[in-house]
Amino acid sequence: MASRHIETWNQCLGVIKDNTSEESFDTWFRPIKPISLENDVLTIQVPSQFFYEWLEDKYIDLLKKTIKKVIGPFGKLEYSVLMDSSDKSVTIKMPSSDYVETKNPLGRPHSEIPSDAPINPFIIPGLKKLQIDPQLNENYTFDNFIEGDCNRVARQGGLEVAKNPGKTAFNPLLIYSSTGLGKTHLCHAIGLEVKRLHPEKTVLYVQAEQFINQYVTASRDKNLNNFVHFYQMIDVLIIDDIQFLAKKTMTQEAFFHIFNYLHQNNKQLVITSDKLPADLQDMEKRLLSRFIWGLTAELQMPDINTRLAILKHKLYTNGIVLSDEVVDYLATNIRTNVRELEGVLISLVAQASLNKKTITLDLAKQTIDRFIRSYVKEVSVEYIINIVCDYFNIPVDNLSLNTRKHQVVQTRQVAMYMAKKYSNASLASIGKQCGNKDHATVHHACKTVSDRLDTDKQFKRMLDDIEKKILG
Ligand code: ADP
Ligand code: MG
């Protein structure tokens, strides 16, 4: 009699095996242990909460059909969830969603879990806290993160979260901006501040790419349980550059479970993204909707005064002395992002020390010039046409003339070449704006100009001048 549950479960496994892939079977069904069979209720033991949620989410239909087939129309399933795999294992009983009204047990509030059962195995008294390397960069502190209108909400939100992780309405805290505006810096600052104020908290900073790699490895090694368990033990989880999860459906799935678990247990989540959640493509809707549950804060390009303050702070902390004139020039002319501002500063200081020069305004200008040329600035085709026509002294309207006059042809070709290089417009659109030509003409023009650049020094000098004007 004692083995009836084992026999029944083995029959179930037979049915399941025929209806799943070998890999899924090995990962999700082989580790299950049958516990008992009483009054048509089969109780199975699963290794973790995550495991249970996954089965209910992914395999509930298969499980239901199997139970009905093997046990009969009144057959039911109950889970015994193993909360810790060490000796001190604790089990809690979980009904299959057959018993509860919500089909998706993931959204289930705590109260549906028997109240006497510990929800998180890691908060069972007497069990050791997890010791992990939080992966925080000590240099990225709040003190070093200069506040301005551009970042006030995010910075203050971050400070609040660090003071009371998981206890404010800012959960998750989602910080978004384009590159180089301080997302990563702020992440580390929050993590460091939590560690300072609450040394007992388990904090982890992780880049989304790292998270994905860990998921892939865990999945390959059939170790997903440990992976998810590990993340479920974190008090403050900081995930940087979440946009990399796009298209990674399985990783998103695992993150979804981790997110829910942490959020339900009042753990803090901090997420960064290079876009607003609404603009993130190829991400599951239910995940995106969770991202905006808390505070969504944007980091913008600092205004001139904040740029000055950032520069002065960097100079001060690095013991560099620069004239006000040079500092003003840098702050005024670098308008892309803070990383660029730092880059120019470092390059300027390096050049001055290598060449034993003093940092003059001229040297600053040259450095910025060189730096700016190394990335493509976004400018409109119209703007470029105006500069090129002005340079060759040809009225813009003449670009559409059907003439073989060298000056007109050259102006048009150079405008097309520069537009291709410095704008984001398509060849067709460039052609249309440069005298209503087609994309093949633009293509030909670009080739002609670059061929000539290789052989004609004077022409190259002219184009260098034009480029300087375009880059302002
Ligand atoms: P992101 O992650 O948004 O691409 P980072 O956090 O890597 O940007 O920031 C780029 C650089 O700019 C870092 O060195 C960072 O310290 C600096 N930075 C950004 N914003 C500020 C700020 N408000 N004050 C001081 N440094 C800043
Ligand atoms: Mg970053």
DSSP characters for 1-17? -TTHHHHHHHHHHHHHH
Residue 188 Cα to ligand 1 midpoint, Å, equals: 11
d(C-alpha 85, C-alpha 82), whole Å:
7
Q: Which atom of ligand 1 is nearest to the CA of 148?
A: 23
pLDDT tens for 355-399 read: 777 888 888 888 887 776 555 456 789 999 999 999 999 999 999
**The pLDDT value given to residue 376:** 46
Ligand 1: residue whose CA is nearest its atom 16: 185
**The pLDDT value given to residue 127:** 40
Q: Which atom of ligand 1 is nearest to the CA of 140?
A: 16
Provide CB contacts within 8 A for 39, sequence distance 6+.
none
Residue 152 Cα to ligand 1 midpoint, Å, equals: 14
Q: H-type helices in 20-59, by residue range?
A: 22-24, 49-58
Decide which of 366 and 15 is more confident. 15
For CATH 3.30.300.180, the residue range(s) in the chain are 4-108
- Using DSSP's 3-state secondary structure scheme, residue 106 falls into helix
Q: Are 330 and 359 in contact (CB under 8 A)?
A: no
The distance of Cα 29 from the centroid of its chain, to the nearest Å, equals 33
pLDDT tens for 209-224 read: 999 999 999 999 888 8
Strand partners, 37: 42
Is the peptide bond preceding residue 109 cis, with omega within 30 degrees of 0? no
Q: Are 305 and 146 in contact (CB under 8 A)?
A: no
Torsions phi, psi of 42, nearest 5?
-95, 125
152-298: which CATH topology?
Rossmann fold (3.40.50)
Q: How many CA atoms lie within 13 A of 399 on its CB side?
A: 27
* pLDDT tier for residue 101 given thresholds of 50, 70 and 90: very low
Q: Which atom of ligand 1 is nearest to the CA of 240?
A: 2
Q: Which CATH architecture has domain 304-376?
A: Orthogonal Bundle (1.10)
Q: Does residue 183 have a pLDDT over 60? A: yes
Q: Which of 181, 206, 209, 275 to mutate to test the pocket of ligand 1 (most atoms within 8 A of CB)?
A: 181
Strand partners, 76: 41
Q: Which atom of ligand 1 is nearest to the CA of 151?
A: 23
Give the pocket of ligand 1 (CB within 6 Å): 144-146, 151, 177, 179-185, 310, 338-339, 342
* Ligand nearest to the backbone CA of 182: 1
Q: Dihedral sign for Cα 345, 348, 353, 359, please.
A: negative
For CATH 1.10.8.60, the residue range(s) in the chain are 304-376
Which of 3.30.300.180, 3.90.1720.10, 3.30.420.60, 2.160.10.10 is the CATH number of 4-108? 3.30.300.180
Residue 10 Cα to ligand 2 midpoint, Å, equals: 50
Residue 244 Cα to ligand 2 midpoint, Å, equals: 12
Q: Which of 207, 243, 244, 339 to mutate to test the pocket of ligand 1 (most atoms within 8 A of CB)?
A: 339
Question: CB under 8 Å, gap of 24 or more: what pairs does 390-398 form?
Answer: 391/462, 391/465, 391/466, 391/469
The CATH number of the domain covering residues in 381-471: 1.10.1750.10
Q: Which residues of 159-173 are buried (b: 16+ CB within 10 A; e: fewer)?
A: bbbbeebbebebbbb
For CATH 1.10.1750.10, the residue range(s) in the chain are 381-471
